[in-house]
Chain A
Amino acid sequence: GENVEQHPSTLSVQEGDSAVIKCTYSDSASNYFPWYKQELGKGPQLIIDIRSNVGEKKDQRIAVTLNKTAKHFSLHITETQPEDSAVYFCAASPPAGGGNKLTFGTGTQLKVEL
């Protein structure tokens, strides 16, 4: 089955700096890659996703890039703010799951310091 590795496990940045979280996946057939943000005591919430026919997607301060050849994708957060502090999870979904069978990475604890 699919295996997703996520790095780093913890990331500390100064407010206003950029943060990058990287994930690699094992199943070359996977075609859907979401990113979820989990605030303390809450369930995860989708912040951005990308499909395999697209190389990059942006939404304000957040962007995701996908390299299908290398089987890795990354989350980029620019101009970080204290409210960006949370745990971020990447995930991958194989075609058979239709985007609904998700394998998650192990998470990155992002801390934005004032």
Chain B
Amino acid sequence: EAQVTQNPRYLITVTGKKLTVTCSQNMNHEYMSWYRQDPGLGLRQIYYSMNVEVTDKGDVPEGYKVSRKEKRNFPLILESPSPNQTSLYFCASGLGGTGSYEQYFGPGTRLTVT
């Protein structure tokens, strides 16, 4: 089944404890992206990647890191999480413009930072 998977789906952590949220897609997509969703603010793009070793900042990159060492994986790293990073996070992938800009979203990761 073609899909985007995220792990973990739920995470509660404490301020300052480094964490990684993994994202993997099995559709051979060039493009991958991370978003956060907060009530009243909609979806905001954190980082995106057009290909392996190519990443660009979205609208809210502060406090986050990403890497794209393999085409199928795009982990989101919070080196020192803070309570304002409590949010619902979505990973997405797509063809990146080769005929379509459609993005396929994962199921989401709900992160709570205390």
Residues of A within 8 A of B (CB): 1, 6, 32, 34, 42-46, 49, 89, 91, 93, 98-107
Contact = CB atoms under 8 A, between A and B. Distances in A.
Contacts, number: 61
Interface in B76-97: 90, 92, 94, 96-97
Interface of B: 4, 31, 33, 35, 40-45, 48, 50, 56, 58-59, 90, 92, 94, 96-97, 101-103, 105-108
A99 B56 contact: no
16 contacts: A1-B59, A32-B101, A34-B101, A34-B102, A44-B90, A49-B101, A91-B43, A98-B97, A98-B101, A100-B50, A100-B94, A100-B97, A101-B48, A101-B58, A102-B45, A106-B40
